Amino acid sequence: MLIRISLIVAIVAALAAGALNFVEVKDKINTLITQRNSEKDQKVQAQTELASTKKELKTTQDNLKQTQSDLADTKVQLKKSNDNLIAQTKRADDLSDKLAKTTQERDAAQNDLAAYKATDLTPDQVLALNKNLKSARAEIAAINDEKLVLLHTIARLTNELNKYIEPDQFVKLRADLHGKILVVDPKWDFVVLNVGEDQGIIQDGELLVSRDGKLVAKVIVRSVQKDRSIANLVPGWKLGEVIEGDEVCPAHPAS
């Protein structure tokens, strides 16, 4: 009897333990199902948000491309506008210059017309006077050229005469005479100058050679041409190397 009772108790205890385990397992299963459903919902939500984000990203990228394209077009239009502005500004400046020049020419023409009317001369008389004026100017230029030649001749003859009267007298050159050295021959110590008879050079005239305001040498003219002359370096006066481009001026300028 005791054994039966013990067996029944054992069976009841086992059933109670099984029922308790079943309840615990069921709770765990329900918890797992709830967690799974929650994670599934979160996953679906995350996928939905990801899809939405991708869509927004694509829209943003498309908008960025469009904005970049619009910006490039704007830059091109801005450059065209700037170029047009520069061209229009230059055209306006040119027109202003032309207007000022035209106004000046108009004023000069009006003054000339007023002066012409004040003379009471006919057009033929004005043309004749203009022709005579041109002829007179040409004659004056020719006379001045002859005068210059005569002056050079007088200076040369005076220099030659002074050689006999005062052998030790220096040849005096024009005080405003200035020139440059074109060619240098260091072997024979002579130079070619860019000034000649037309500029007042006289044979045996002495010139000082300078560079940057410093004396370099002294030369004496040996041959004179129309606009060139040849001179030799004076011994004892070579303080440095003479080079092309050095400046020359009279060593004994006329007062």
Give 9: exposed, middle or buried? Use CB within 10 Å, 0-12, 13-18, 19+: exposed
| Lowest-pLDDT range of 15-19, 41-45, 96-100 | 15-19
pLDDT band at 134 (very low <50, low <70, confident <90, very high): confident
User: Which residues touch 146 (CB under 8 Å, ≥6 apart)?
Assistant: none
Measuring CA to CA, how many Å separate 76 from each of 72, 90, 211? 6, 21, 56
**Class of CATH domain 179-250:** mainly beta
Whether residue 67 has pLDDT greater than 60: yes
Least confident residue range of 32-41, 104-113, 118-127: 118-127
Cβ-based burial of 124 (10 A; exposed 0-12, middle 13-18, buried ≥19): exposed
For residue 23, pLDDT over 80 is answered with: no
The Cα 192–Cα 201 span in angstroms is: 12
Residue 177 · residue 198 · CB < 8 Å: no
Res. 121: pLDDT tops 70: no
Q: Are 180 and 247 in contact (CB under 8 A)?
A: yes
Over residues 204-235, the pLDDT tens digits come to: 899 999 999 999 999 999 999 989 999 999 99
**Does residue 7 surpass a pLDDT of 60?**
yes
pTM comes to: 0.41
pLDDT at residue 250 greater than cutoff 90: yes
